[in-house]
Amino acid sequence: MITSLWLAALLVSTEFAGRVDIGGGRHIYMRSAGKGSPTVVLVAGLRNTGDIWSVQADDGTTRTMVFAGVAKLARVIAYDRPGTTLGADQFSRSDPVGQPRTASDAVTELRALLRAAKVPGPYVLVGHSTGGLIVRLYASTYPKDVAGMVLVDAIPETMQTLLSPENWKIYDRLITEVPTPLANYKDLETIDFKTSFEQMRKAKPSSKMPLVVLSRDKPSEIGADFPAGFTDTVEKAWRDGQSGLAKLVPGARHIMKSQSGHYIQLEQPQLVIEAIRQVVEAVRHPSRWKERP
């Protein structure tokens, strides 16, 4: 186990990978690389470990993935939430906790990790899917710590209201059901979306900051065993929700032509890296963001 003194020594150099004691008998796995402010914090989607920002897409093409690409721009952090996976044989390296959890739980956990690891702010938060909900709630809860955000096909809380109650029940079941290969992983992450969405609605509006919203332009493969028109209804709600996210902050940039499905960081990592670069540069040189259309 890593002691506090050893951890502090390691974090003088930002090259680090290991479990961090966040208190309460819990440890969270974190990886850090690169140098320079602001610190970029990558928050993965539902049930994805932090390695989702590094793994190559399974299409035979070798690319510079997001974690490595951002490490050339600034200090970058990725971590495993409890109960996350990368396939059926790679499970979270963080200590398990009770499930289901909420976005607020994840925010509290991330705050504890950044403080325990002495990761300096300000932060540019990057969230994919459910991770987008988490980083938005973090920014609303700790606005002085967050200097910018990138949302990577982030789930909007408006999905619950844009869909009919009947379709929302189906969609909620769809995104929270346990895949068969993970059925025996008793600690698998589960998010209470109803409660998490309510937490987001009650949060303070996002502060004015550089924001880039990346949205998929390829429909998700939902499957055929659903009511007629369900897939089209979900896709329309998702597009409307993405447009809403892009209106959260004045001057936000919305990239809709991503040539990608939901996992933009795997299919088009350079697009995500470039969005992060823009926000990092805007934090370092605010006038440059204002000058651009």
Q: Is residue 196 part of a domain?
A: yes
Q: Is residue 287 part of a domain?
A: no
Tell the burial category of 254 from Cβ atoms under 10 Å away from its Cβ (0-12, 13-18, 19+).
middle
Question: What is the distance, to the nearest Å, from the Cα of residue 133 to the centroid of all Cα atoms in its chain?
Answer: 7
CB atoms within 10 A of CB 70: 27
More confident residue, 52 or 88: 52
Q: Is residue 285 part of a domain?
A: no
Please give the tally of structural domains in the chain. Answer: 1
Please state the rounded mean pLDDT for residues 11-39: 91
Domain that holds residue 188: 4-140+154-274
Please state the rounded mean pLDDT for residues 142-160: 97
Q: Is residue 76 part of a domain?
A: yes
Q: Which pLDDT band holds residue 226 (cuts at 50, 70, 90)? A: confident
What is the number of residues in the chain?
A: 293
Check pLDDT > 70 for residue 67. yes
State the average pLDDT for the chain. 92
Question: Using alpha carbons only, what angle is made at residue 254 by residues 250 and 256, rounded to the nearest 5 degrees?
Answer: 160
Q: What are 178-210's pLDDT values in tens digits?
A: 989 999 999 999 999 999 999 999 999 888 999
Please state the rounded mean pLDDT for residues 210-230: 88
Please state the φ and ψ torsions of residue 86, each to the nearest 5 degrees: -135, 80
Strands of the sheet with 26-33, listed across from one edge: 16-23, 26-33, 76-79, 39-43, 123-128, 146-152, 211-214, 253-255
Q: What are 233-244's pLDDT values in tens digits?
A: 999 999 999 999
- Whole-number pLDDT of residue 91: 97
Q: What are 121's two structure tokens?
A: 């702010």
Check pLDDT > 50 for residue 3. no
Check pLDDT > 80 for residue 261. yes
Query: How many percent of the chain have pLDDT more than 70?
Result: 94
- Whole-number pLDDT of residue 131: 98
Q: What is the dihedral of CA 275, 175, 141, 246, to 10 degrees?
A: 40
Cα–Cα distance measured from residue 247 to residue 127, given in angstroms and rounded to the nearest whole number: 17
Q: Which pLDDT band holds residue 2 (cuts at 50, 70, 90)? A: very low
Check pLDDT > 90 for residue 290. no
Q: Which pLDDT band holds residue 13 (cuts at 50, 70, 90)? A: low
Q: Is residue 292 part of a domain?
A: no
- Whole-number pLDDT of residue 11: 44
Q: Is residue 259 part of a domain?
A: yes
Question: Dihedral sign, CA of 277, 283, 284, 290?
Answer: positive
- Whole-number pLDDT of residue 221: 79
Q: How many helices (H) and strands (E) does the chain have?
A: 11, 8
CATH number of the CATH domain containing 247: 3.40.50.1820
Q: How far is CA 223 from CA 6, 232, 251, 259, in A?
A: 49, 12, 36, 21
Check pLDDT > 70 for residue 271. yes
Question: What is the distance, to the nearest Å, from the Cα of residue 153 to the centroid of all Cα atoms in its chain?
Answer: 9
| CB contact at 8 A, 85 and 52 | no
Q: Is residue 117 part of a domain?
A: yes
Q: Which pLDDT band holds residue 44 (cuts at 50, 70, 90)? A: very high
More confident residue, 4 or 15: 15
Cis check: omega of the bond before 179, within 30 degrees of 0: no
Q: Is residue 279 part of a domain?
A: no
